[in-house]
Amino acid sequence: MVSNNIQYVSAIYQGGGIQISGRMDTGVVGQSVGFTVLDPFEVNHNYDVTDLPAVRARFMEYSESQRCRHEATDIIGGNINFSRIDKTNFIVSGIFEFSTVSGTCDTVQITEGRFDIKYIP
């Protein structure tokens, strides 16, 4: 997803893990990206997105003519790294990147992903 105008982002920390997702829609094409990291997660640790089920990443791109869904099992490499976990003010920050391939869709490379968001405890 190459965009600085995400229309919707969310982060939820419940049930032993954190889930972060973002979505944007240009009117012609929509994209969403998200990931889940189970407890314990810590600052400055590279979490391998292929380390199922502890870490999961996903990507979806959709238009009128095609829907490409890349689930955790389609991920071929990448990582997530938390630079800040503030459990007092409920803020989580970090970076991510991953590559994914699906049988009927193009290979997708997500690079320089970044998040800095309040989460729902």
- Per-domain residue ranges for the chain? 8-118
Q: Is the pLDDT of residue 3 over 80?
A: no
What is the phi/psi pair of residue 52, to 5°? -70, 145
Tokens standing for 50?
Answer: 């292929």
Q: Is the pLDDT of residue 5 over 80?
A: no
Between 43 and 102, the higher pLDDT residue:
43
Q: Is the pLDDT of residue 6 over 60?
A: no
Q: Is the pLDDT of residue 102 over 70?
A: yes
Kindly report, residue by residue over 109-121, the tens digit of the pLDDT: 999 999 999 999 9
How many CB atoms neighbour CB 9 within 10 A? 16
Stated pTM of the model = 0.84
Tokens standing for 87?
Answer: 């459990």
Residue 1: predicted pLDDT: 44
Kindly report, residue by residue over 37-85, the tens digit of the pLDDT: 999 999 999 999 999 999 999 999 888 788 898 889 998 999 999 999 9
What is the phi/psi pair of residue 73, to 5°? -75, -10
Q: Please, is 38 exposed, middle or buried when counting C-beta atoms within 10 Å of its C-beta (0-12, 13-18, 19+)? A: middle
